[in-house]
Amino acid sequence: MIDRILPWEGCNNVRDLGGLRTSDGRLTRWKTIVRSDTPAKLTAAGWSALYNYGIRTIITLRTHGMQEDELNITPPYSD
């Protein structure tokens, strides 16, 4: 089984949302959706862990005011 809590250096409360039951009784897939606080403080090791986990898209659900610190985040990798 995959660990739900992911230790990505510089980012708090990182969790894989796989294995959660949906309203119709099915389960969400592992390694598909991850939630966390802001990735703005990820260290190089944290970015590496995120990339190695398969994350290629970051979507923020924060309000505009909360996003100000995140507008210029550039991951240190590219595909």
Is 2 inside any structural domain?
no
Note whether residue 59 is domain-resident. Answer: yes
User: Between the CA atoms of 42, 43, 49 and 50, what dihedral angle is there, to the nearest 10 degrees?
Assistant: 30
CA dist., res. 41 & res. 38, Å (int):
7
pLDDT digits (tens, 9 = 90+) for 24-76: 999 999 999 999 988 888 999 999 999 999 999 888 887 776 666 665 666 77
Break the chain down into helix, strand, coil percent, rounded to 5: 25, 10, 65
Range(s) of the domain holding residue 57:
15-70
Identify the pLDDT of residue 2: 73
- Does residue 8 sit within a domain? no
Residue 28 counted as domain residue: yes
**Tell me, what's the pLDDT at 44?**
93
Rounded to whole angstroms, the Cα distance separating 46 from 57 reads 15
Question: What pLDDT, on a 0 to 100 scale, did the predictor assign at position 1?
Answer: 60
Which pLDDT score is estimated for 74? 67
39 in a structural domain: yes
pLDDT in tens, 47-58: 999 999 999 988
Kindly state whether residue 5 falls inside one of the protein's structural domains. no
Q: Is residue 77 part of a domain?
A: no
Q: How many structural domains does the chain have?
A: 1
Neighbour count for residue 65 (Cβ, 10 Å): 7
Tell me: pLDDT of 18 over 70: yes
